[in-house]
Amino acid sequence: MEIEFVAADAAAPQKTALARIVFEGAALEGQLARAAAASRFTGAKGQTLDILAPEGGAARLVLVGAGKAESFDATAAEHAAATAYGAVKASGLETLRIELPSADAQLAARAALGVRLASYRFDKYRTKEPVEKKPTITKTQVVAAEPDKALAAFPSLAALADAVSFTRDLVSEPANVLYPAEFAKRVKALESLGLEVEVLGEPEMTKLGMGSLLGVGQGSVRDSQLVVIRWNGAADKSAQPIAFVGKGVCFDSGGISIKPADGMEDMKWDMGGAGAVTGLMHVLAGRKAKVNAIGILGLVENMPDGAAQRPGDVVTSMSGQTIEVINTDAEGRLVLADAIWYCQDRFKPKFMVDLATLTGAIIIALGHDYAGLFSNNDELSQNLLAASAAEGEPLWRLPLPDQYNRQIDSMIADVKNTGGRPGGSITAALFIQKFVNGVAWAHLDIASTAWKKPSAIPTIPDGATGFGVRLLNRMVAENYEG
């Protein structure tokens, strides 16, 4: 999608759909007032009114409701622009020209971001899509009072859109294509952005004593990988880094504790945490963020096999703690145990944030709009919550009660990997906490938000959301740069 910021009097190209964003209750004139009266269009958020061949020469005019003027913020601008795109994307027209009800350059840039995010599609495996279903809009013009100012505000948002798209692509790929080594290869290719990428294979992880992570991948013909991504953008290249760790289960069959067939295909998405960490590193490099950051991806495939790990097995993690594997389907925490220990052991970061599609229980607790936040540090939590609200990626903090650790006491090892159904997301987080070694840490359980099927948010097409990239990018920008 090509983006331009233009002045109101700039000529529109041929085949343009004009979108006028209007506030609720705003007065419309002439033909538009009559059209609105004939259709119950009031300008309420999300409403659209399509007018074909309107007076004035545009091929098509769509009115988009933006809700109340007082609540028109950056998210509302994104959503209105994304809704406009959705209304005309497959119209046969080629340019979308958006007129906003506000002169703010930042809002114009966010409107452009909204279109970039809404126009994401994963269509590489479609060979027979009817032409009339294919999107035709290839260019978006956002009309701005000061086009240069809007343009200057856009590059960091374009970098964000690129990164979110990269994450969505990773998460959408089927598991026969995106297995750990292929994932690692795609991350390695990001060295062209200025990132440093190291890939550890099974021999290296064996040497490090990562019995917990390796046990998960043991039943797969695909080798497990640990990927270390580094962005050194701070003025002081040796300044203490911040760190992000992602669960990257490229496919989660459950292993020997196999999942039911119904819905199992969704488990190609079980690398959404690693996908988000990759996207974050992508945007930090893309906008040359002034920060030193580490991204660690634990990449495995969880499969049943003669060589697979069994329920009841005891594995030894890199931390030295032994783990009784009660259920081979509680594999994400086993991967994170070693990835997180390795992270703090090697990099001594200021803090660690892990992202993981960890538990079905978080969906039961919070539904599909909120991800769960667990943390041993109030300041880190506050920074995450503030960024999450501003980026429209909601988080809800849940407790880490010490007394629930009883649920993961093992009869024969230091800890077991499941704590039963009560508080299932909490006991999963408590398990992970045993591997953070006292470092400031937050865990985001994104099993509820990594994909939407269907999505009700105009900037998120059905499927992979890229959840986490936006909120972490803002959290870094607002607290840890410069």
- Indicate which residues carry an active-site annotation: 259, 333
| Subset of 246-265 contacting Mn ion (CB under 5 A) | 252
| Choices 192-200, 326-334, 342-350, 401-409 (CB under 5 A): range interacting with Mn ion | 326-334
Closer by beta carbon to ligand BES, 140 or else 427: 427
Q: Is the peptide bond before 454 cis (omega within 30 degrees of 0)?
A: yes
Asked if 447 and 358 touch (Cβ cutoff 8 Å), the reply is yes
| Subset of 437-456 contacting ligand BES (CB under 6 A) | 447
Per DSSP, helices labelled H in 320-457 are: 332-347, 361-366, 378-391, 424-433
Site for ligand BES contains 330 (CB under 6 A): yes
| Subset of 417-436 contacting ligand BES (CB under 6 A) | 418, 424
Q: Scanning the structure block, which residue is given the tokens 């609105």?
A: 36
| Choices 91-99, 147-155, 224-232, 269-277 (CB under 5 A): range interacting with Zn ion | 269-277
Q: Which strand (E) or helix (H) includes residue 232?
A: strand 225-232
420 phi and psi angles, rounded to 5 deg:
85, 180
How many other C-beta atoms lie within 10 A of the C-beta of residue 155?
Answer: 13
How far apart, in whole angstroms, are the C-alpha atoms of residue 439 and residue 460?
34
Asked if 457 and 470 touch (Cβ cutoff 8 Å), the reply is no
Q: Residue 101, exposed/middle/buried by CB under 10 A (0-12, 13-18, 19+)?
A: middle
Give the nearest distance from C-beta 172 to ligand BES in angstroms: 15
| Choices 14-22, 201-209, 211-219, 322-330 (CB under 5 A): range interacting with Mn ion | 322-330
How far apart, in whole angstroms, are the C-alpha atoms of residue 352 and residue 371?
17
Site for Zn ion contains 445 (CB under 5 A): no
Q: From Mn ion, Zn ion, ligand BES, none, which one binds at residue 418 (CB under 5 to 8 Å depending on kind)?
A: ligand BES
Q: From ligand BES, Mn ion, Zn ion, none, which one binds at residue 273 (CB under 5 to 8 Å depending on kind)?
A: none
Tell me how far CA of residue 177 lies from CA of 118, 166, 172, 241, in angstroms. Answer: 25, 15, 10, 33
Site for Zn ion contains 270 (CB under 5 A): yes
Asked if 326 and 255 touch (Cβ cutoff 8 Å), the reply is no
Q: From ligand BES, Mn ion, Zn ion, none, which one binds at residue 99 (CB under 5 to 8 Å depending on kind)?
A: none
Site for ligand BES contains 465 (CB under 6 A): no
Site for ligand BES contains 357 (CB under 6 A): yes
Tell me how far CA of residue 22 lies from CA of 10, 95, 119, in angstroms. Answer: 21, 20, 22
Give the nearest distance from C-beta 330 to ligand BES in angstroms: 4
Q: From ligand BES, Zn ion, Mn ion, none, which one binds at residue 388 (CB under 5 to 8 Å depending on kind)?
A: none
* Number of chain positions touching ligand BES (CB under 6 A): 15
Site for ligand BES contains 331 (CB under 6 A): yes
Site for ligand BES contains 311 (CB under 6 A): no
**Residue 158 corresponds to which tokens in the numbers above?**
């374009």
Q: Which residues of 355-382 are buried (b: 16+ CB within 10 A; e: fewer)?
A: bbbbbebbbebbebebbbbbbbeeebbe
How far apart, in whole angstroms, are the C-alpha atoms of residue 41 and residue 101?
17
109 phi and psi angles, rounded to 5 deg:
-65, -40
Site for ligand BES contains 4 (CB under 6 A): no
Site for Zn ion contains 249 (CB under 5 A): yes
Closer by beta carbon to Zn ion, 254 or else 461: 254
Q: Scanning the structure block, which residue is given the tokens 């769960």?
A: 372
From the list 361, 442, 476, 477, which residue makes contact with ligand BES (rule: CB under 6 A)? 361
User: Which amino acid is located at 444 in the chain?
Assistant: L
Residue nearest to Mn ion (CB): 329
| Subset of 218-277 contacting ligand BES (CB under 6 A) | 252, 270
Asked if 354 and 247 touch (Cβ cutoff 8 Å), the reply is yes
Q: Scanning the structure block, which residue is given the tokens 């669960």?
A: 247
From the list 99, 173, 182, 252, which residue makes contact with Zn ion (rule: CB under 5 A)? 252
User: Which amino acid is located at 89 in the chain?
Assistant: K
Q: From Zn ion, ligand BES, Mn ion, none, which one binds at residue 311 (CB under 5 to 8 Å depending on kind)?
A: none
Site for Zn ion contains 332 (CB under 5 A): yes
| Choices 74-82, 149-157, 244-252, 425-433 (CB under 5 A): range interacting with Mn ion | 244-252
The residue ranges that bind ligand BES (CB under 6 A) are: 252, 270, 327, 329-332, 357-361, 418, 424, 447
The residue ranges that bind Mn ion (CB under 5 A) are: 252, 329, 331
